[in-house]
Structure formats: structure tokens, C-alpha cells
Amino acid sequence: ARAGATVVVTDLVAERAASVAAEIGAVGGRAEGLFLDVTDDAALSAAITAADDRHGRLDVLHSHAGIQIAGGLEEVTAAEMDASWRLNVRSHFIAARAAMTVMKPRGRGSIIVTSSNSGVQYDRGMIAYCTTKHAVIAMVRQIAVDYAHHGVRCNALCPGFVDTPFNAGFEAQMGGRKALERYVGGTIPMGRWGTVEEIAESVVYLASDMSSFMTGHALVLDGAESL
């Protein structure tokens, strides 16, 4: 919003989306907050095309939703693997497909899909998460090569540890919050969490013309954890 975009915020909890939109509005930005269940294919597609209808353009899609289910091969159920695939891969496919219907005819657009640094490395005991995060990077690269000549870019954002509630699966895997903090401080070469602001700046970079020659890239922000 600070870069001049009108932002459409969606969330499974309508109040959270409205709260973020209100925060943007309070500092002079333009935003709207909407309820959306991204596992509902029709609703997801409709939300994206409706945003284009309301605002007359769709320059950027940031497809961010995801789920983290901890466990190895013998712990994760087939239903949990299906849930991971549906949210971490399939929903991004549906979203990109809908966005492409309006971006391709106009010959421009930027699609950003949130993967993870777990998509470029392997985490013990996280089979569903790692499998789907690797898969979505492959999908991003395929979209990029298929639509580069149409002027539409597609890149993956691969954050490492940022201090948010999304880390619950890793906390469980590692044996609690203190163990995760020790890992972040002692194992990540930069010795700290990433910040929400650092991730947001990277989204702006991928969305904007600053990255106009970048497509099919997995942008890793993890303090060198995956190296």
C-alpha cells in the first residue's frame, strides 16, 4: 500500500482481513478486507476476478495461504497429506489460473507464491510440509516459463523462520518454544529470526518493476539457514 497499490486482503477469518485493511487505511493506504476460504475453488477464482472487475486491473497476485503439519512418513496420515497438498499447492494453482485470465490478455502481471526455505532444503519429520513446498516451487517455475512471453512473471517467496504463530509445527517437532529459540540463535548463521517487515519488502520487490527481469525464481530469505 505504501508503494501506491490498492490492496485486497483476504483471510479465512473475516475480522482479521478487515483489521489489516483498517490498519492500511489508517496510514492513508487503500485496502479492503474480505473473507475467503482458498480451498473453495469457485470462491477463490471469483474473488480474484471480482477484484479485477471492481478496480479495473489486477497487477499483482500474492498467493500466501499455507498449512504446516508436522510428522514423518509414519506419523502423517493420508488425509493430512491431502490437506497439505490442497492448501500448499492446489490453492496456488487455482489462484494463479484465475489471475492469468486477466493478466495474460493485458500482457503484464506479477504472480507471487509463498513457498518456504523448506522448499529448497529438507526438514526432518516434516514430510507433508517439505513435499508440498518443493512442489509449489516446481509449479512456479513451470508457470514462469509458460507465460514469460505473455509478459506475466511468476516467482516464489521462500522465507525461513519469522517469529509468528505459524511456527507451531516446528515447535512441536523440536520439543517446544525454547528448543526452537535455541535453534534459531545457534544454528541459523545470522543468529536471529527474520522480521515481517523484511518479508514484506521482498514481496514489494517481486511485485514491482524492480524485479522486471526476474521470473521463475525462488527468492530465499532465511539468514543462510539453507546453505
Report, as residue numbers or ranges, the catalytic residues. 129
184 half-sphere exposure, CB direction, 13 A CA radius: 18
126 half-sphere exposure, CB direction, 13 A CA radius: 23
For residues 88 and 132, the answer to whether their CB atoms sit within 8 Å is yes
- As a whole number of angstroms, the distance between CA 172 and CA 115 comes to 20
Residue 28 burial (CB count, 10 A): 8
Which cell numbers in the block locate residue 136? Answer: 509449489
- As a whole number of angstroms, the distance between CA 64 and CA 95 comes to 10
Helix (H) or strand (E) holding 35: strand 30-35
- As a whole number of angstroms, the distance between CA 176 and CA 167 comes to 10
Which cell numbers in the block locate residue 205? Answer: 520487490
Place of cell 499447492: 89
Which cell numbers in the block locate residue 97? Answer: 489460473
Helix and strand element counts for the chain (H, E): 8, 6
H-only helix segments in 107-195: 127-147, 168-174, 177-186
